[in-house]
Every structure is written in C-alpha cells, then in structure tokens.
Amino acid sequence: MFLKENLKSIPIVKNLVGFLESLKIPGYNSFSFFDLAEMYISGIVKGALSSRAGSISFSFFMALFPFLLFILNLIAFIPIDNFDGVFFNFIELLLPQESQSFFTDIFNDIRQKQRTGLLSSVFLLSVFLTANGVSSIFSSFEGSYHVELSRSFFRQYLYSMMVGVLLALLLLLGVTALIFFEIFILSNLDELIPSEINWIRLGQLFFYTILIYISVAILYYFGTIEGKKTNFFSPGALMSCLLILLTTYLFGVYIENFSRYNQLYGSIGALLIFLFYIWLNSSVLLLGFELNATLNRLKNSEEQTSS
C-alpha cells in the first residue's frame, strides 16, 4: 500500500498504476496485475536473487563437465550415424561463440577414442556432481521469499538425482528426435519448397526451444513441495524460456561486437564469458521461478480469503 501511494504521487506513473490496478489476473479475481507486480518485485528484492544465482552458477559449472563427459562417452554406443556430430552442433546453440573452443578439443578427443573404462568411472562422479548441481538449484528455489515449505536433505537429494537423470535422457531424446526430424521431414521439405531458408537451422532452434521449456518446467515442478501445486507448463517456465532465448541472442551480439575479453585476458577470456553466461541464465531461471511462487502465494491468499 505504501508503495502504491508513492507511485501514485508521480504524475507520469500514476496512469500506469491505475491501468494495472484495473486489470485482473485471469483466474485470480481478487488481485490485479499491480498486486502481482508489487509482490513479484518484493520477492526479488527480499529473496537475495543475485547471491542465489551465484550459488547456482558455481554448482552448475562444477556439474557441467562431468555430465557432458559422460554424455559424450555414452554417445559412442548409440547406433545412429553421425549422432555425435549432430549432438555437438546442437550443443553449440547453447554456448556463446567465444566459448565454443572450450568444448571443441574435448569433444574431438572423445569422439576419436572410445573409453569404456572412463565411461564407468565418470558415471558415478557425473551422477554425484549433477545431483549436487540440481540440488543447488532446488535450494535456491527454497530460498525464495514466497516459499514456505522445504524438503529434508535426503529427500531433496533423491529428487535431484531423479531430475538430473531425467534431464540427461531428455537431452539425448531431443537430439535423437532432431535427427529423425531432419532426415524424414526437413530434407523432403527442402525439396518440395526450394528456398534460401535454412530449414535445418530452424529445426535445431525449434527443438532447442522445446528442450529449454520442458527442462525449465521440470525444474520448477519438482524443485519445491509447492511446485506441484502449479501446472507443469507454467507462466514462469514460459517466461524463463523466452528470456533465455533473448539473453542468449543479445549476449552473443554483445560478445561478438563489443566485448574485448580475449584481448584483455587471452584464452581465459572464454572461461570468463562462459561463467558470466551461466550466471545470467541462472538469474533468468530464478526470475521465472519467482513468478510462479508469486502466483502461488496469491492463489493461497485468495483461497484463505474466500474460506
């Protein structure tokens, strides 16, 4: 209320506040979009979003390389021609251009040498570190100002392992579906509709978007006890997916045209770029979760008022 009165005292903002107050949230008849914005911003400020994003970034970075190493070794046993090449091209869509060289040497080394022993030894480490990374994300979700319930340590770790394996299978399934999509649909489409459009690239972007959306939805749904009270395909997951696509594009434009990391720091510049990219998307992930948590808080308030 105090914030509302202060904003209404500003002539330029007064009309915007009145407009947001007049718009009711679909399915939340007692609350307006201004109530949503006020509670959402309050949760971001009071929930220390930046420090939580930093925690996710560190754990994600620690889990990423063992996870990818296990996936890349596992690819050698998948009986699909050029699966590894398609997989690497797909992964490149996720990375800033300046950081792609980090993965090229590792990928080519694993691609040329099949290591059965390494696969078995990396498996346990990758599962452990991936579970730690997912658990860090879940802990950051529970650190939200609007989340009131939390799981026990062991229960959360089991959920983290399950979600980590689920995301790995989702990634492999997505790349497999992309291969068949390119072979049976895009190749025929290119023959039927000759054009300068790169259908394969558009297909990769389509599957990339779907994978991001489903992955984020899985994290939000299993991340907290209250997450299952919302729809699997939630507004927060959609917002995060769109923001990840936008930040990936804008970040790539910035790095390519304005950044001088490689000139200042040499080869370590690629690492700095990659770390900042992880932190940026970690923040986006938390922003989407805060939206879901805010909507859930408003829903609980409405149910308590009506009862």
What are the structure tokens assigned to 119, written together?
A: 């696969």
Strands 24-25 and 28-32: antiparallel
- Find, among 220, 202, 244, the residue nearest to 96 by Cα: 244
Residue 214, pLDDT score: 93
Single pTM value for the model: 0.81
- Residue 76 CA from chain centroid, whole number: 27
Residue found by looking up tokens 């808080």 in the block: 297
Q: Whats the size of the chain, residue-wise?
A: 307
Cα 46 from Cα 35, distance rounded (Å): 16
What are the structure tokens assigned to 171, written together?
A: 């990634």
Cα 166 from Cα 159, distance rounded (Å): 10
Instruction: List the chain domain ranges.
Output: 1-46, 54-306
- Find, among 233, 228, 292, 305, the residue nearest to 31 by Cα: 305
Give the mean pLDDT per block of 10 residues along the chain (307 residues): 56 67 70 75 80 84 72 70 72 66 64 57 74 84 77 84 86 80 66 61 81 92 82 89 88 69 63 82 90 82 64
Cα–Cα–Cα angle for 204, 208, 212, rounded to 5 degrees: 175
Cα 83 from Cα 127, distance rounded (Å): 23
Q: Which string of DSSP letters, residue by residue, matches 42-92?
A: HHHHHTTHHHHHHHHHHHHHHHHHHHHHHHHHHHTTS-STTHHHHHHHHHH
